[in-house]
Structure 1
Amino acid sequence: MENHAAIAEGVTILTASRGGETSLERKGHGVFTSLLINALEGAAANLIGSITPGSAYAHIDQTLGMWGQRPVFKTNTDSFVSLREVDPAISLDDLRKLKKLFPTEDYEYRLDPSYEPRDEGRTDAMPPVEPRNNRVFSLLQKYNRHGLLVPVGADHMWNAAMESKSCRLTLLGKHYRRLADQGLL
């Protein structure tokens, strides 16, 4: 006999484990509860600091994979609401700059040694350090740390600058650029 239940509109259910599974404990506390608290404290936040039921579930599910306990997530909603807002990993102002720095989604932002503020690896033939470019490079490095862009033809952003290469948006970067372009940030 199949076990089905109707979920009312606007309801989300998140449980520690499936029927027949034991909810695990570690050091006297439920593993699921610890992960849920961690998710709500910010581990499940997106780049703009929003924690949704879906992001909380994803955080818990990914972490519980190593424990062999499967959480259950069921929902009947048109869209997720934010359960909590935390400080964003990147400010909205900085995310909005994506559309200015990358005029199109496939644009490659050209770098040169003037972007790198350190003297390490610099030769006399290289252009001098430019403070304005240093500020831009600092932002580009922040985008890189959060998976929004990658260097092209170099392993690291420092190499891309010192070797006069470029950087480009990742799929996630393109997504946030579109949000910025549409005024949704």
Structure 2
Amino acid sequence: MAKRALLVGIDDYHNVAPLAGCAADARAMAAILKKNDNDSPNFDCRLLTCSAGEPITRAVLRRSWSELFRDFDGDVLFYFSGHGYPTELGGYLVTQEGTPDDPGLAMNDVVHLANLSRARSVLIILDCCHSGAVGNYADLQSSNQSPLKEGVTILAASRPGQAAFELDGHGVFTRLLLGALRGGAADVRGRVSAASIYAYAEAALGGLDQRPMYKSHAARLEPVRICEAKVEDALLRELLVFFPEPDAEYRLDETYEETNSAAKPEHVAVFRKFKILQIAGLLKPKEGFDLFWTAERSGFVQLTTLGIFYRQLASAGRL
């Protein structure tokens, strides 16, 4: 499935205070989103920064949005780092020529385009002040209608009334995004989703810091990026072989421990696989913590709750 992204970073403003790390934010996000950890292609990225050509005016950003969504039924990502501004009509993304009286484009304009698009999924990421205002529609608050169509997800750096900060050359939120996308938010299979990115960022920020927000009407968690897997799918599927039932136990003995004179190569190979599963949190000794001593004492190993979950995925053919 095709994937495309538009990444915007604005440092130099004509009529409001400049910023320092927004262009760097957008460049770093584009660099990491272009490829997965195994160098396979991920998003086809278009980068807009104030140092890379024409000014990023409201007309330029509106046109870029149209091009992002036009006649596309794959996965779409929009990222913005710059000034955000609150008004009585909602939050605005401040474009390069913006003023306090006429800041730029409404945050909800990109949500509206996402809702009208044919895209299978849309992820909107805003690292700017007051970004939590995106996706809030006053006329829908008292109804049962969702402001987001199915497949649309929003990650915002701060609550509607909060500032978003820069630190050491990057936005605080974007620095966490980058860590999440590099593997900090990856699951056992190496998949990083929007939900896991949010959980990673939210856990890192204290109660007195800016608070990120997550809004979604997604029926599935598509990976935003794929990192190195802790456990390959082939080994996860072998859980069904080693543990025919979720609560099954597997007995080890001295033939599984490679330093033992009685070791058997085929058993040592199983032991090494179990070590990988243990490190990933999918397997544990029934008693104690060490697989070596479990083998030396002819003890049993069993799946953890997480291991049972991945065994269930394998049983359902989802790996």
Q: TM-score scaled by structure 2? A: 0.52
What one-letter code is carried by the residue in structure 2 that aligns with 1:172?
L
2-structure distance, mates of 1:24, 1:160: 50
Q: In the TM superposition, what is the alpha-carbon distance from 1:66 to its structure 2 partner?
A: 7.7
Listed as ranges, the matches of 1:1-185 within 5 Å are 4-5=136-137, 6-65=147-206, 68-119=209-260, 128-185=262-319
Residue 118 of structure 1: CA displacement?
2.2
SS of structure 1 residue aligned to 2:215 = strand
What residue identity is the alignment partner of 1:154? G
Q: What CA distance in whole angstroms lies between the structure 1 residues aligned with 2:244 and 2:206?
A: 40
Residue 94 of structure 1: how far off its partner (Å):
0.8
Structure with larger RCO (C-alpha < 8 A, sep 6+) = 1
Q: Flag the 1:78–1:103 CA change in 2: closer, same or farther, 3 A.
A: same
Structure exhibiting the larger radius of gyration computed from Cα positions: 2
**Same amino acid, percent of matched pairs:** 38
Equivalenced residue count is 176
Whether the 8 Å contact between 1:154 and 1:165 is mirrored in structure 2 is no
Task: Return the offset for 1:67.
Answer: 7.0
Which stretches in structure 2 are left out of the alignment for 5+ residues? 1-132, 138-146
SS in 2 for 1:83: strand
Distance 2:210 2:295 in 1: 45
Distance 1:139 1:66, change over 3 A: farther
In structure 2, C-alpha distance between the alignment counterparts of 1:66 and 1:57, rounded to whole Å: 15
Cα distance in 1 for residues equivalent to 2:216 and 2:253:
49
Gapped regions of structure 1 (runs ≥ 5) = 120-126
Write the letter of the residue equivalent to 1:51: V
Question: 1:60 and 1:134 mapped to 2: Cα distance?
Answer: 40
Amino acid at match of 2:294: A
Residue 159 of structure 1 aligns to a residue in which SS?
helix
Deviations 1:158-179 (A, max 9, x none): 1211121111101110011111
Runs of 4+ in 1 over 4 A off after TM superposition: none
1:51 Cα deviation (Å)? 1.5
Instruction: Output the CA distance in 2 between the equivalents of 1:70 and 1:142.
Output: 36
Contact 1:150–1:168 (Cα < 8 Å) also in 2: yes
Deviations 1:77-97 (A, max 9, x none): 222222122232211111110
- The TM-score with structure 1 as length reference comes to 0.86
1:101-131 CA distance string (max 9 Å, x none) = 0010000111112111125xxxxxxx71111
The structure-2 alpha-carbon separation of the partners of 1:103 and 1:67, relative to structure 1 and needing over 3 Å to count, comes to farther
Q: Does the residue aligned with 2:250 lie in a helix, a strand or coil?
A: strand
Q: Distance in 2 between matches of 1:161 and 1:85?
A: 35
